[in-house]
């Protein structure tokens, strides 16, 4: 990780610059004694040695990575849930449409069956009346 050091205390500024000289960058995570991404005294316990500082920074970096991973996982899970909800809605719409078509189709078939039955009954009645006379 890269760090930018911005401390009001000149002694702390110089100590951090010396301890972290290989990690310093202008666009890095801000380490400060008042307000920044990492605050000395709050996030980094004082007093510290170089090895303690590096261990604490590594621990903070691991926590940050874990938080980012969890956030990404949650975002992906939310996107997946939204997609599943959208797919469920889509499936419901498809099923509703096909159910309506089936109902309409069954309704048509029932109407057709009723008409055919009525026609058959009337035809049989007509035949009986016509041939029954003779």
Taking phi first (over 0 means left), then psi (-120 to 50 degrees means alpha), and beta for anything else, what does residue 41 get? left
Give this prediction's pTM: 0.48
In the predicted structure, residue 22 carries a pLDDT above the cut 80: yes
Q: Where exactly are the structural domains of the chain? A: 1-48, 55-134
What is the rounded average pLDDT of the residues 3-14? Answer: 90
What's residue 14's pLDDT?
Answer: 92
In the predicted structure, residue 65 carries a pLDDT above the cut 70: yes
Spell out the SS3 assignment of the chain: CCEEEECCCHHHHHHHHHHCHHHECCCCEEEECCCCCEEECCCECCCCCHHHHHHHHHHHHHHHHHHHHHHHHHHHHHHHHHHHHHHHHHHHHHHHHHHHHHHHHHHHHHHHHHHHHHHHHHHHHHHHHHHHHC
Two tokens, residue 67 = 């938080």
Mean pLDDT of the chain: 79
In the predicted structure, residue 92 carries a pLDDT above the cut 70: no
- Cα dihedral: 56, 57, 60, 62 (round 10): -110
């Amino acid at each position: 990780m890269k760090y930018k050091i911005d401390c009001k205390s000149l002694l702390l500024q110089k100590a951090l610059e010396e301890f972290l000289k290989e990690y310093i960058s202008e666009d890095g995570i801000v380490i400060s004694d008042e307000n920044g991404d990492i605050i000395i005294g709050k996030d980094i316990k004082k007093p510290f040695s170089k090895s303690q500082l590096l261990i604490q920074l590594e621990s903070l970096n691991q926590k940050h990575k874990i938080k980012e991973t969890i956030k990404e996982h949650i975002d992906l899970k939310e996107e997946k849930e939204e997609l599943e909800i959208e797919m469920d809605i889509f499936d419901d719409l498809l099923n509703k449409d096909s159910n309506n078509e089936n109902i309409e189709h069954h309704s048509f078939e029932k109407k057709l069956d009723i008409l055919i039955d009525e026609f058959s009954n009337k035809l049989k009645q007509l035949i009986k009346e016509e041939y029954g006379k003779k």
